C-alpha cells in the first residue's frame, strides 16, 4: 500500500501546525499510511509548544508513530523541506504548510487515483488550493523517485 509523507516546515505557529495536522487526519480515509513530518527551527521561541499537542493528536487518531518532529538550524523553507524529504519514508511526498487546512474527505484515496496514472512514478501535481492553482503549483506533490532522480 502506498504511503504519503507530508513535509511541513513551521516556525512560530504551533497552533496552525496542530490545526493542519488535525485536518489531515480528520479527512483522510486510511490514516495508517500517512506520515507527517515537521521541521522546527532550534531558535524558534515557540518550538517547545509543538511536541506535546502533536503527540496528543497522534494518540487521538491512533497514529502517534506517524507524526515526527525534526529540529535543526534555521535554513529556510526550501532547506527544511529538503531535509524532511530525505527523512521521509513514503513513496509520495507532499510539500505542505502549517497554514493549510484539508477539507476534502478521502483526499488520500483521490490522490491514489491520480498517482496511478503515472506508472513511471515521475510526476508533479498539486491540490487546488483556491489561491493560484490554475496558474502555478504552490505546494507540489512528487514521488520519492522524482526526488532521487531530479533532486
Strands (E), 90-150: 92-95, 124-125, 141-143
CA 55 from centre of chain: 16
Listed range (19-23, 92-96, 129-133) with the worst mean pLDDT: 129-133
Q: Which CATH number fits domain 4-150: 1.10.357.10, 3.40.50.720, 3.30.70.260, 3.90.550.10?
A: 3.90.550.10
What mean pLDDT comes out for the span 79-106?
96
Average pLDDT along the chain: 94
- The string of pLDDT tens digits covering residues 54-92 is 999 999 999 989 999 999 999 999 999 999 999 999 999
- Write down the H helix ranges in the chain: 14-27, 48-61, 76-87, 107-115, 144-150
Amino acid at each position: 500500500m502506498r504511503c504519503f509523507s507530508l513535509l511541513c516546515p513551521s516556525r512560530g505557529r504551533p497552533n496552525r501546525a496542530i490545526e493542519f495536522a488535525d485536518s489531515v487526519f480528520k479527512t483522510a480515509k486510511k490514516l495508517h499510511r500517512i506520515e507527517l513530518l515537521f521541521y522546527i527551527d532550534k531558535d524558534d521561541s515557540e518550538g517547545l509548544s509543538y511536541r506535546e499537542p502533536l503527540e496528543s493528536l497522534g494518540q487521538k487518531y491512533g497514529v502517534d508513530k506517524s507524526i515526527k518532529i525534526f529540529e535543526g538550524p534555521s535554513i529556510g523553507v526550501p532547506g527544511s523541506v529538503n531535509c524532511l524529504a530525505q527523512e521521509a519514508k513514503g513513496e509520495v511526498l507532499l510539500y505542505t504548510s502549517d497554514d493549510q487546512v484539508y477539507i476534502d474527505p478521502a483526499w488520500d484515496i483521490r490522490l491514489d487515483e491520480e498517482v496511478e496514472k503515472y506508472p513511471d512514478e515521475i510526476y508533479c501535481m498539486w491540490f487546488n488550493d483556491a489561491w493560484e492553482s490554475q496558474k502555478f503549483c504552490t505546494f507540489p506533490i512528487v514521488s520519492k523517485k522524482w526526488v532521487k532522480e531530479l533532486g
